[in-house]
């Protein structure tokens, strides 16, 4: 199973709504996680089960989707959201990641 | 608090071997599956291998199958990655990651990583 993210990068203004998509080459039900990796830092879990927010993650982050198509939305983009975002399928082999989406501030 | 500390990285010549270790603390290690994930410089995340909580089940990415071996010692709270026949394509930061639990096996904690550079 392969995971494909789009776009590979984006630039948006503070306060904008940003959407990142992730597509699985086969259906994966809702076994989809999103991670945030800030420059020079370790990846951080944001969302699991496609739409469940990890404890402590700001509510401006949300996820949706099931089967093959998923989205990560950041409403009201903040400067501290500058990072690369990765989707990942889990539950069985392989635990594949998307190629990442780099989010920058205009 | 959960801590994952990798060690064993360094510069190694092509074709040689290396063993990475990940020492875990702050949780019941023997209850959780563990993964290795690598990240080449400036590139994305690349899942490498997983070992179940009891060490009985292992899976590998196609790119490392037959060359890398994951193992664990629950008495030492440590997971290992033995890497053989290394090539320049294996140059990356290698991080261990903990599964949340046996059902929800996404990664809730990651180590800082250890850099492996394969170069002559």
Cβ atoms of B119 and B86 within 8 Å: the answer is: no
| Cα–Cα dist B78/B58, whole Å | 15
Query: Would an 8 Å CB–CB cutoff place B61 in contact with chain A?
Result: yes
pLDDT of residue B103: 83
* B89-106 pLDDT per residue, tens: 999 999 999 999 888 899
* A50-78 pLDDT per residue, tens: 999 999 999 999 999 999 999 999 999 99
Residue contact A90–B106, C-beta within 8 A? yes
Query: Would an 8 Å CB–CB cutoff place B66 in contact with chain A?
Result: no
Cβ atoms of B81 and B36 within 8 Å: the answer is: yes
pLDDT of residue A21: 98
Minimum Cα–Cα distance from B96: chain A residue = A42
pLDDT of residue B79: 98
- State the best of B22, B44, B104 to mutate against chain A, taking most chain A CBs within 10 Å: B44
Query: Would an 8 Å CB–CB cutoff place B33 in contact with chain A?
Result: no
Nearest Cα of chain A lies from the Cα of B46 at a distance, in angstroms, of 7
Nearest Cα of chain A lies from the Cα of B21 at a distance, in angstroms, of 17
Cβ atoms of B81 and B94 within 8 Å: the answer is: yes
* A23-41 pLDDT per residue, tens: 999 999 999 999 999 999 9
Q: ∠B25-B31-B34 over CA atoms, to 5°?
A: 70
pLDDT of residue B104: 85
pLDDT of residue B108: 96
| Cα–Cα dist B93/A35, whole Å | 17
| Cα–Cα dist B25/B98, whole Å | 11
Residue contact B106–A33, C-beta within 8 A? yes
DSSP tag of A97: B
Strands (E), chain A: 3-6, 9-12, 18-24, 32-37, 44-48, 52-53, 61-66, 69-74, 83-89, 101-105
């Amino acid at each position: 199973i392969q995971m494909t993210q789009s776009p590979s990068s984006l630039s948006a203004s503070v306060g904008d709504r940003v959407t990142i998509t992730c597509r699985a080459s086969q259906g994966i039900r809702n076994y989809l996680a999103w991670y945030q990796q800030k420059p020079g830092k370790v990846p951080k879990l944001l969302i699991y089960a496609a739409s469940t927010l990890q404890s402590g993650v700001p509510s401006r982050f949300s996820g949706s989707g099931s089967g093959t198509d998923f989205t990560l939305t950041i409403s009201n983009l903040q400067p501290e959201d500058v990072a690369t975002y990765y989707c990942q399928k889990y539950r069985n082999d392989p635990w594949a990641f998307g190629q990442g989406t780099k989010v920058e501030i205009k | 608090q959960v801590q994952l500390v990798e060690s064993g990285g360094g510069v190694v010549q092509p074709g040689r071997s290396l063993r990475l270790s990940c020492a875990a603390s702050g949780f019941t290690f023997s209850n959780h599956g563990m993964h290795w994930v690598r990240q080449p410089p400036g590139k994305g995340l690349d899942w490498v291998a997983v070992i179940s909580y009891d060490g009985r089940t292992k899976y590998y990415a196609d790119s490392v199958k037959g060359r890398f071996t994951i193992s664990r010692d629950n008495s030492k709270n440590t997971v290992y990655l033995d890497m053989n026949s290394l090539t320049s394509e294996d140059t990356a930061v290698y991080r261990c990651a903990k599964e949340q639990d046996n059902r929800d096996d996404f990664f809730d904690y990651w180590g800082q990583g250890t850099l492996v550079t394969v170069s002559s």
